[in-house]
Structures are given as C-alpha cells and as structure tokens.
Structure 1
Amino acid sequence: MRTTLASAVLMVLALDSMAQGASTAQVEVRFEHPEKFRDASLDNRAYPRSADPQVLKVLTLHLQKLGQRYLRPGQQLVIDIRDIDLAGQFEPWHSQAYDVRFMREVTWPSIDLDYTLQQPGQPALKAQEHLSDKMYLSRPGRLGNNDRLYAEKAMLGDWFRQRFAQPPS
C-alpha cells in the first residue's frame, strides 16, 4: 500500500513538473551554414577555418540562459544565427603567440541573426539584427575575466535585455 501511494505521489509530482515545464519560456538557437562564418573559432590551427562546435554550444547555452531569465512563460524564441565574427583576431606573424587572439579597437565582435518571438494570443514578431560592440574593450568587468567569449556574451546579454526584458511595473 505504501509503495502504491509513494508511486502515485511521485507520478503526480512528475506530471506537475512536466506541466509547468510546458509553459516555461524557451529559446531555440540554430546556426545557418556555420562553415561560412567569418570567425567563429578559438583555435587558430583549425583548417579549413570553420566554426568551433564548442563556441556554438557555449553561445547556445548562454542564449538559453538569457531566455530563462528574461522571457515570460509561454514565449518561444527561435534565433537563427547567420554569421559570427568573434572579438579580436589571430595574428600568426607573432611567432611566440600564434594561438593568441589579439584584442584591438578595430576587431570588435559582431553577430548577424534573425529571430522569431511567439507568444500566446499575439502574432509572431520577426526581425533581423546585426549586433556589434565597438566599445567591447571598455566594458566593466572585462579585465581579469578569463572567459574567452566574454565580449560576445556581454553583447548578446545587452541585446537580449533591450529586446525581450519586461519593463518594471
């Protein structure tokens, strides 16, 4: 009898959590022809030059985390990333720093994307965006941060807040 009651309670809790999960905000990130991205690799030795799967994974997880924070339950956001140009660039002529990405004022990050926001009872909102952060070297918190995608994450965070965060009521 106790086993049956415990099983029933667990089943109810599982169904309740699934029902709540169905109404939570979701972000789906897709990459259109990542093999053609301008610069989406943290490895200078990758040849032919192609998008680093780890970079794509980290950016996807970051956007999903932003969605959990800023989207309302029931909203669905699909982001199609068309191009990535990471902050900085490799300068292979530096023989002692072949794998170092040099950050300069003219090597800011940029991402081209399309997005579709769907929400209950409203028509889908579709837009194209070109994100860039020419002031990425001046961002607070940049110094001492070891995250190699700090500039891109900060740029995406700013964009996400501007587009999708709800104004305080």
Structure 2
Amino acid sequence: MRTTLASCLLMVLALDSMAQGTSTAQVEVRFDHPEKFRDASLDNRAYPRGADPQVMKALAEHLQALGQRYLRPGQQLLIDIRDIDLAGQFEPWHSQAYDVRFLREVTWPSIDLDYTFEQPGQPTLKAKERLSDKMYLSRPGRLGNNDRLYAEKAMLGDWFRQRFAPPSS
C-alpha cells in the first residue's frame, strides 16, 4: 500500500506534467513506503526517518526529464522506488550535525527500484535493480555544482541512459 504523502506527490507531479503538455513518451515514478527509506532527507531535523517530499519530487522530476530526453514516442516506463540512501550522512558529533551532509568515500548513494518498460510491438520488460555509485566523489562536474542531489541525479542519469537511451547512430 502506498502512503498518502506519496499519493499526493504523484498527483501533483501528474497535474504538473499535464499543465506542461502531454507527450507520447512517459515516465511514472512511484515511491513504495517512503516512510521506511534508509536515508532520503536533506533536512535531518524535519525528516529524521523516511523521505523528504522535496527529495522525492526532485528525483521524480529528474527521471521524467530523462524520459522526455531519451524515450521514444509510445514508450512507457513505470519506476517504483523501494529505498533511497542519499550520498553522505549527517554526523551528530559535529557542531553542524543537522545542517550538513558529510560526504565520505564510504557513504555513496544507492537507490533500490523496480521498473516496467513497455514499447509498441515488444514484450514488456520488468526488472529489479540496486543502483549505487561508489565513485561519486570523483564524478566530473561535481565541484562547483550546488545541487544537493547531484550525486543521485548523476547516478540515475547514467542508469537511465544505459537502459533506455536509443543507440547512437
């Protein structure tokens, strides 16, 4: 059963995408029990357990933008995110314990997901995956980027391109 928070977020995202105009390529993102996610908050005081709605919204929007860029008309992708562990961690022994995520080599991002990919004339593809990026601190473009979800978005972008982007000609 999906949570009310996740349901509301999906409705907002669906209405937002309708307002922007519909496309024949579509990505739907759902969050399965976000209250049980390991570490999906950029504000440890407001969301000490579970998922921050802003994190879920930003990741869903990023995946939908990737779909607009890489999926062909008629292709449909449903992504169920089962768990999120953001890059870095809050360290309670520091003076800024709940304001700063400390990024270390051993605190890489990971996301567990299921997906269903449909396209006309092809069998439906279903899979479970665990995405992780142990080299997230070495990623080009990381320095100087102010996006607090840069590591997670870059990891999702790599995964999306590998699975769903059409081959280069």
TM-score normalized by structure 1?
0.85
Structure 1 position 165 matched with structure 2 position 165: yes
Q: Shift of the alpha carbon at 1:168? A: 1.6
Aligned to 1:125: 125
Partner of 2:154: 154
Q: Post-superposition shift, 1:44?
A: 1.4
2:94 alignment counterpart: 94
| Alignment of 1:106 onto 2:106 | yes
The sequence identity of aligned pairs, in percent, is: 89
What is the aligned partner in structure 1 of residue 3 from structure 2?
none
Moved over 4 A (4+): none
Change (3 A) 1:30 1:98: closer
Shift of 1:95: 1.7
2:167 is matched by which residue type in structure 1?
P
Cα distance in 1 for partners of 2:168, 2:99 equals 44
Q: Report the counterpart of residue 66 of structure 1 in structure 2.
A: 66
Indicate if the aligned counterparts of 2:41 and 2:48 stay in contact, CA closer than 8 A: no
**1:151 is paired with a residue of what secondary structure?**
helix
Unaligned runs of 5+ in 2: 1-17
Q: Give secondary structure in 1 for the equivalent of 2:38.
A: coil
Q: Secondary structure at the match of 1:68?
A: helix
Aligned equivalents of 1:120, 1:22: Cα separation in 2: 18
Structure 1 portions without partners, runs of 5+: 1-17
Post-superposition offset of 1:104? 0.1
CA distance in 2, matches of 1:22, 1:146: 30
RMSD of aligned alpha carbons: 1.6
User: 1:37-56 counterparts in 2 under 5 A?
Assistant: 37-46=37-46, 48-56=48-56
Question: What letter corresponds to residue 118 of structure 1 in structure 2?
Answer: E
Q: Which amino acid aligns with 2:106?
A: V
2:73 matched to 1:80?
A: no
Greater CA radius of gyration, 1 or 2? 1
C-alpha contact (below 8 Å) 2:38/2:84 kept by paired residues = yes
Structure 1 residue 23, shift from structure 2 partner:
6.0
Q: TM-score, normalised by structure 2?
A: 0.85
Whole-angstrom distance in 2 between the partners of 1:142 and 1:72: 29
What is the alpha-carbon distance in structure 1 between the residues aligned to residue 96 and residue 77 of structure 2?
Answer: 44
How many residues were matched structurally? 150
